[in-house]
């Protein structure tokens, strides 16, 4: 038996079919506001967009009916048990294969987010505690965390991509500057060799940019661009060493320490 079969078996009785959300919508708005604002931005997160409007079933009526039996903390959310019962009803009506869109409420999402900030993975106890607290099935909590990790990773990938693009641009710019510098040095050497043909000009002692950048702290004598950079880090290169990190708990694979053979 495959692992997922276990999970799916676990769910099969409750949500393999279309889960029907029993909540009514944004608890922060009066019932009268819900009717005309199902699609509004304000209510989008808090509302159950799957609420089935039945003829003669007013928002106020449903509100009274449902909130009276719901826990205080998350007063309008899915109740796992009620949900299962509702699914049976649903299956008798709509096609059993149809997957209904289920939206977590604002409160549920916020609570899950807070939990995610504390730990991005769940142990079984945390999962069941969260599920109980939010009136969700453990599988729903698990799926939410899976998806949340995926979103985090995607975001981090985007940030990394932007960062690498900037690095690339910076390095290209630096490369162009160094190429120009090399060209200038070659020109200087050629000119010097032409002027003083018997004086050894195989190497330049100070390059143009170093000449400009040399500070009292810099050692006299032979100066290289890298020495200048080391002595006073170029603002151009600084961003290369300050990679942005979106979240504290993910480590990009590239930056993971490779196991070394010696240590």
Q: List residues binding DNA (CB under 7 A).
A: 1, 3-4, 6, 8, 11, 15-16, 19, 38-41, 44, 49-50, 98-104, 109, 121-122, 124, 139-140, 142-151, 153
Smallest distance, Å, CB 56 to DNA?
21
- The Cα–Cα gap between 15 and 87 comes to 8
- DSSP lists the bridge partners of residue 206 as 223
Shortest reach from residue 8's CB to DNA, in Å: 5
Sign of the alpha-carbon dihedral angle for 42, 45, 49, 55: negative
Closer residue to DNA in complex, CB, 50/170: 50
Nearer Cβ to DNA (130/207): 130
Residue number with CB closer to DNA (10 or 169): 10
CB 127, min distance to DNA, A: 8
Closest approach of DNA to the CB of residue 242, in Å:
25
Residue among 112 and 207 whose Cβ is closer to DNA? 112
* CA–CA distance, 66 with 86 (Å, rounded to integer): 13
Which two structure tokens, joined as six digits, stand for 231? 């002595």
User: Between vectors from CA 93 to CA 88 and to CA 94, what angle results, nearest 5°?
Assistant: 100
CA distance 196 to 74: 88
C-beta of 63 vs 83, nearer to DNA? 83
For the bound state, the minimum distance from the C-beta of residue 145 to DNA, rounded and expressed in Å, comes to 7
Angstrom distance (rounded) from CA 52 to CA 160: 43
Q: Give 238's DSSP letter.
A: G
The distance of closest approach from Cβ of residue 253 to DNA in the complex, given in angstroms and rounded to an integer, is 8
| 56 phi-psi bin (left φ>0, alpha ψ -120 to 50, beta other) | left
**What gap in Å lies between CA 21 and CA 7, rounded to an integer?**
21
Nearer to DNA, 50 or 67 (CB): 50
């Amino acid at each position: 038996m495959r692992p997922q079969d276990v999970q799916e078996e676990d769910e099969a009785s409750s949500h393999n079919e279309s889960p029907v959300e029993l909540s009514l919508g944004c608890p922060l708005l009066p019932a009268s506001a819900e009717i005309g604002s199902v699609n509004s931005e304000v209510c989008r997160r808090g509302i159950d967009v799957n609420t089935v409007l039945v003829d003669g079933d007013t928002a106020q009526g449903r509100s009274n009916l449902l909130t009276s039996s719901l826990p205080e903390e998350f007063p309008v959310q899915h109740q796992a048990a009620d949900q299962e019962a509702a699914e049976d009803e649903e299956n008798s009506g709509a096609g059993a294969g149809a997957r209904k869109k289920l939206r977590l409420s604002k409160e549920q999402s916020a609570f899950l987010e807070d939990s995610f900030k504390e730990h991005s993975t769940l142990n079984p106890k945390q999962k069941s505690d969260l599920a109980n607290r939010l009136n969700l099935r453990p599988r729903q909590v698990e799926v939410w965390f899976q998806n949340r990790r995926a979103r985090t990773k995607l975001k981090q990938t985007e940030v990394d991509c932007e960062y690498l693009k900037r690095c690339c641009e910076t390095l290209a710019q630096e490369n162009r500057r160094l190429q120009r510098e090399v060209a200038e040095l070659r020109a200087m050497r050629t000119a010097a060799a032409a002027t003083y043909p018997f004086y050894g000009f195989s190497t330049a002692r100070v390059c143009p940019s170093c000449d400009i950048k040399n500070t009292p702290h810099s050692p006299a004598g032979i100066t290289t661009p890298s020495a200048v950079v080391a002595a006073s880090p170029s603002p151009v290169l600084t961003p290369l060493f300050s990679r942005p990190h979106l979240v504290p708990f993910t480590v990009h694979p590239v930056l993971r320490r490779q196991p070394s053979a010696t240590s």
